[in-house]
C-alpha cells in the first residue's frame, strides 16, 4: 500500500513503474491474487507490532498457493539508531529524521515468518550468526 505523499514525492519513479506495467495498490487485493509479492523495507517502518504482523499476514494472504514472497528488511548494521542514539519507540527507534525504524536480526525475521504458511527458500545477506546490513528472503506459500 502506498501513501499519497510518498507517491507525490517520488512521482517520476512511480510513473516509470507504471509505464513498465506496475500497479500501485490503494487497498488490499482479494486473497490469493498474486504469484509474486515484493515487500522491500516496509516491515521495519511499522511502529506498532500488531500492525507489523497484520501487514505481513496480508502479504502472505494475497499470495496464490506456490506463490513467492520476496522480502527485504534492514538489519542492525544498516540502522544508525541501532547504536541507541535514537529515541526508543516500542521495539524500535525514532531516527534522526523523525521516522520509525525497527531493525531485524536474521533470527528475529525467521522467527517472525515461522508458522505463517510459508517455506523459506533462500536467505541472502547473512546467517543466524552473521548480522548483515540488509536481510533478503525468498519464500514460497505452502
Residues paired with 87 in a beta bridge? 94
74 in helix, strand or coil?
A: strand
Burial pattern 82-116, b for ≥16 Cβ within 10 A else e, equals beeebeeeeebbbbeeeebbbbbbbebbeebbeeb
Q: Give the range of the structural domain holding residue 80, as residue numbers without chain letter.
A: 31-141
This prediction's pTM: 0.77
- Residue 15 domain flag: no
Domain at 99, CATH number: 3.40.50.150
pLDDT tens sequence for the chain (142 residues): 446 777 788 889 888 988 998 877 777 778 898 999 999 999 998 888 898 999 999 999 999 999 999 999 998 887 765 455 555 667 887 777 777 888 898 988 999 999 999 999 999 876 666 678 899 999 999 9
Amino acid at each position: 500500500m502506498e501513501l499519497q505523499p510518498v507517491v507525490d514525492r517520488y512521482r517520476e519513479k512511480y510513473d516509470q513503474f507504471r509505464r513498465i506495467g506496475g500497479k500501485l495498490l490503494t487497498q488490499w487485493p482479494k486473497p490469493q491474487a498474486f504469484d509474486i509479492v515484493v515487500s522491500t523495507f516496509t516491515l521495519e517502518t511499522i511502529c506498532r507490532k500488531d500492525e507489523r504482523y497484520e501487514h505481513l499476514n496480508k502479504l502472505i494472504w494475497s499470495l496464490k498457493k506456490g506463490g513467492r514472497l520476496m522480502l527485504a528488511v534492514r538489519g542492525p548494521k544498516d540502522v544508525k539508531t541501532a547504536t541507541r542514539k535514537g529515541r526508543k519507540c516500542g521495539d524500535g527507534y525514532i531516527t534522526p529524521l523523525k521516522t520509525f525504524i525497527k531493525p531485524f536480526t536474521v533470527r528475529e525475521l525467521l522467527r517472525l515468518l515461522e508458522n505463517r504458511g510459508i517455506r523459506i527458500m533462500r536467505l541472502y545477506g547473512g546467517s543466524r550468526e552473521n548480522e548483515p546490513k540488509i536481510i533478503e528472503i525468498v519464500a514460497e506459500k505452502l
